[in-house]
């Protein structure tokens, strides 16, 4: 993550590009956090694992869409390792119900109440009454949710003029077939629909009739059919029909499963495969949007390799928990130097 920028007073092309890069960084931020929580669950077949896994799949889609948005807006996505426990560019959640943790002091850990509250803050919908109202005609960061940041980004594009951007599609990626919403972003309309897919699947939009009728359930946050990811695994429960916030509410309303216990030991040798594979993932993502994965055999070949590495990361993270340590995804020396 980069340093928190100073609040600007007018939209500029550079500020819009920084927002797109921040969106990519935020989507990447969720992956180690959610995988660490999922792999802490002792029963791999539990509903909790299925719910979190369904979210991880969609976060990979969101990462792709945010990176494509960067390319369309004439900038490059950034795939630096996230730094947990530090502030995140442009976002500062204000969710009182979950203790205002959110991104501000997130820490990798097991699926417990503290982690789950942070997961809810990450996916916090902007419509919740606790959130302040933002007028996006001028930059109004820090935003109280990811959705607000995306809204600001889209208004900013309109504010300075869509013709200021090339909407370049070279090296953009589309690895989820047969979706209703566009994955390749060649126009403002494509960008709007892609962003709507991200926000509807993630934070969601609470049904108006339920806004003042808590407690909410996953059914309070349905994803419109047009914006659902249509090739998710066919679980007994249609998780893709509800936003991530709703799915995590479902977890919160249930008894949390048994989890592995672990201590923080970043230098434990069990972390080495996890750190090596995560570094490889970041390298693959960077080259995918840099040159289409030419040095890895092309886009489709590289994406298949990314899919394979994601499976390895899940196994590596679980191995850390079984060894009694909290997964450490980053070489501590390298992270300090980044």
Residues 80 and 113 in one domain: yes
Is residue 235 assigned to a domain? yes
Q: pLDDT below 70 — which residues of the chain? A: 1-8, 93-104, 126-135, 207-213, 231-237, 332-338
Residues 75 and 213 in one domain: yes
Residues 126 and 64 in one domain: yes
Is residue 168 assigned to a domain? yes
pLDDT value for 98 = 45
Domain of residue 149: give its range: 13-259
- Compute CA 253 distance to the chain's CA centroid, rounded to the nearest angstrom: 23
Q: Please tell me whether the peptide bond between 141 and the residue prior to it is cis, using omega within 30 degrees of 0.
A: no
pLDDT value for 40 = 98
Rounded CA-CA distance 124/305 in Å is 32
Is residue 7 assigned to a domain? no
Q: Where are the alpha helices (DSSP H) in 168-258?
A: 188-201, 244-252
Residues 169 and 189 in one domain: yes
Is residue 4 assigned to a domain? no
- Any idea how long the chain is? 338
Is residue 143 assigned to a domain? yes
Is residue 194 assigned to a domain? yes
Residues 101 and 155 in one domain: yes
Helix, strand, or coil here: 41? strand
Rounded CA-CA distance 324/327 in Å is 9
How many CA atoms lie less than 13 Å away from 33 in the CB half-sphere? Answer: 28
> In CATH, what number is assigned to the domain containing residue 109?
1.20.1260.10
30 closest CA partner among 67, 3, 2, 57? 57
Residues 233 and 288 in one domain: no
pLDDT value for 1 = 43
Which among 237, 259, 281 is the end of a domain? 259
Residues 85 and 185 in one domain: yes
Residues 52 and 182 in one domain: yes
Which among 211, 228, 259 is the end of a domain? 259
Is residue 8 assigned to a domain? no
pLDDT value for 2 = 43
Residues 326 and 183 in one domain: no
91 closest CA partner among 165, 30, 159? 30
pLDDT value for 250 = 93
Residues 18 and 149 in one domain: yes
pLDDT value for 89 = 80
Which among 209, 244, 259 is the end of a domain? 259
Residues 220 and 84 in one domain: yes
Is residue 18 assigned to a domain? yes
Helix, strand, or coil here: 223? coil
pLDDT value for 105 = 73
Residues 230 and 308 in one domain: no
How many domains are contained in the chain? 2
pLDDT value for 134 = 59
């Amino acid at each position: 993550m980069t340093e928190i920028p100073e609040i600007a007073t007018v939209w500029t092309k550079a500020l819009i590009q920084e927002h797109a890069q921040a969106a990519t960084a935020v989507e990447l931020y969720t992956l180690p956090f959610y995988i660490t929580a999922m792999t802490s669950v002792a029963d791999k077949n539990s509903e909790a694992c299925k719910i979190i896994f369904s979210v991880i799949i969609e976060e990979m889609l969101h990462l792709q869409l945010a990176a494509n948005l960067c390319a369309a807006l004439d900038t490059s996505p950034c795939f630096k390792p996230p730094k947990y426990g530090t502030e995140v560019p442009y976002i500062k959640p204000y969710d009182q119900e979950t203790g205002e943790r959110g991104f501000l002091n997130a820490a990798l850990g097991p699926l417990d109440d503290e982690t789950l509250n942070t997961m809810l803050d990450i996916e916090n919908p902007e419509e919740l009454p606790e959130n302040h109202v933002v007028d996006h005609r001028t930059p109004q960061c820090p935003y109280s949710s990811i959705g607000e940041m995306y809204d600001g980004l889209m208004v900013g594009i309109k504010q300075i003029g869509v013709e200021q951007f090339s909407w370049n599609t070279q090296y953009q990626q589309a690895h989820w077939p047969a979706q209703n919403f566009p994955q390749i972003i060649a126009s403002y309309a494509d960008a709007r629909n892609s962003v709507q897919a991200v926000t509807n699947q993630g934070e969601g939009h609470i049904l108006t009739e339920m806004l003042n009728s808590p407690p909410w359930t996953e059914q309070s946050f349905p994803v419109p059919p047009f914006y659902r990811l249509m090739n998710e695994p066919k679980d007994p429960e249609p998780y893709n029909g509800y936003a991530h916030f709703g799915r995590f509410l479902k977890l919160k309303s249930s008894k949390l499963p048994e989890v592995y216990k672990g201590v923080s030991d970043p230098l434990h040798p069990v972390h080495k495969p996890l750190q090596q594979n995560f570094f490889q993932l970041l390298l693959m993502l960077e080259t995918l949007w840099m040159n289409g994965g030419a040095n890895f055999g092309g886009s489709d070949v590289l994406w298949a390799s990314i899919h394979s590495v994601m499976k390895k990361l899940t196994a590596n993270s679980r191995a850390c928990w079984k060894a009694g340590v909290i997964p450490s995804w980053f070489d501590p020396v390298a992270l300090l130097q980044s």
